[in-house]
Amino acid sequence: MTQRLQGRTALVTGSTSNIGRAIAEALGAEGAHVVVSGRSVERGEEVVAGIRARGGKADFVAADLDGSPEASHGLAGAATEVLGGRLDILVNNAGIYAPTVHLAGTDSATFDRYYAVNVKAPYFLTQVVAPRMVADGGGTIINLGSWVARLATPLGGLYASTKSALESLTRSWAAEFGPQGVRVNAVSPGVIRPPELDPAADFAGAMTSGTPAGGPGHPAAIGAAVVYLASDDAAFVHGATLDVDGGRANVAVVAG
């Protein structure tokens, strides 16, 4: 690795599995001291052990981001303390998703939970982290959007709307904090195959058919995109949403 993030500190929410884990591992491989966060202590410690085994630096901080300011502010404080008083990179990755949630079957509690976890939690986390980054001379915030925020599917509209909100907040926060030295951007993943899934299994074929990539992506692709946005290579990138989706949201491949 290039060690592009040597000496920097990072917090990745929801990083005990899948995309979040890949992001934490990628940041750690590039030299950042990473706080892995999530609800499962066992899985979190496993991620931390893997990063350390590869020569990286990582710690686990348990958190249940329920959308309350107390939960988000508490995580920010605990992570900053573990990192020695400074947080350079925040990745708002934690979120919930169920493909079967549709309009007719959505009750008020489900609606509120989606917005609590997917929007309010990163909102209140950023609320306390961004000003601290400004006071410390700068930092980088990266939100996780989704291709379904712009390319609609018959189901999952509730989830898609939360990701649309987060991508909109990305631009708003970039306008608010960019002039003060804090870059805010987003990564929009496409269909990502969980790494534990059998490679021979048919996974989301209908969702990836007709894309330039021709199939689902690996979580490592999202980790690489986050590393880029967190690094000085992206110093002139503000308020952007980087599509890492195999072309799903923007390109249609038509057979001749």
- For 197-227, the pLDDT digits (tens) are 555 556 566 777 788 888 889 999 999 999 9
Q: Are 12 and 35 in contact (CB under 8 A)?
A: yes
* pLDDT greater at residue 251 or residue 236: 236
Residues 118-156 have pLDDT tens digits of 999 999 999 999 999 999 999 999 999 999 999 988 888
pLDDT at position 41 is: 97
Tell me what pLDDT residue 196 has. 67
Neighbours of 129 (CB within 10 A): 25
Cβ atoms 187, 147 nearer than 8 A: no
Instruction: Find the DSSP H helices in 11-155.
Output: 18-29, 41-53, 69-82, 108-115, 121-136
**Sign of CA pseudo-dihedral 185, 167, 24, 130:** positive
Between CA 148 and CA 101 the distance in angstroms is 14
∠ CA 76-192-172, nearest 5°, is 45
Both tokens of 182, joined, read 């804090």
Give CA–CA dist 91/229, Å, rounded: 10
Q: What is the CA radius of gyration of the chain?
A: 18
Reading the block at residue 223, the tokens are: 């980790």
Q: Give the predicted TM-score (pTM) of the model.
A: 0.94
Closest CA to 77 of 125, 119, 118, 32: 125
pLDDT of residue 204: 64
Architecture label for domain 9-244: 3-Layer(aba) Sandwich (3.40)
Instruction: Of 74, 168, 64, give the one whose Cα is nearest residue 117.
Output: 64
Q: How far apart are CA 220 and CA 156, in angstroms?
A: 24
Which uninterrupted H or E stretch holds 147?
none
Phi and psi torsions of 33, nearest 5°: -85, 115
Report the catalytic residues: 159
CB 63 within 8 A of CB 74: yes
Neighbours of 175 (CB within 10 A): 12
Can you list the alpha helix ranges (DSSP code H) found in 99-190?
108-115, 121-136, 157-177
What tens digit of pLDDT does each residue of 175-197 get? 999 999 999 999 999 999 877 65
Q: What is the pLDDT of residue 256?
A: 42
**DSSP state string for 177-219:** HGGGTEEEEEEEE--B--TTS-TTS--SHHHHTTSSS-S-B-H
Q: Where are the domains of the chain?
A: 9-244
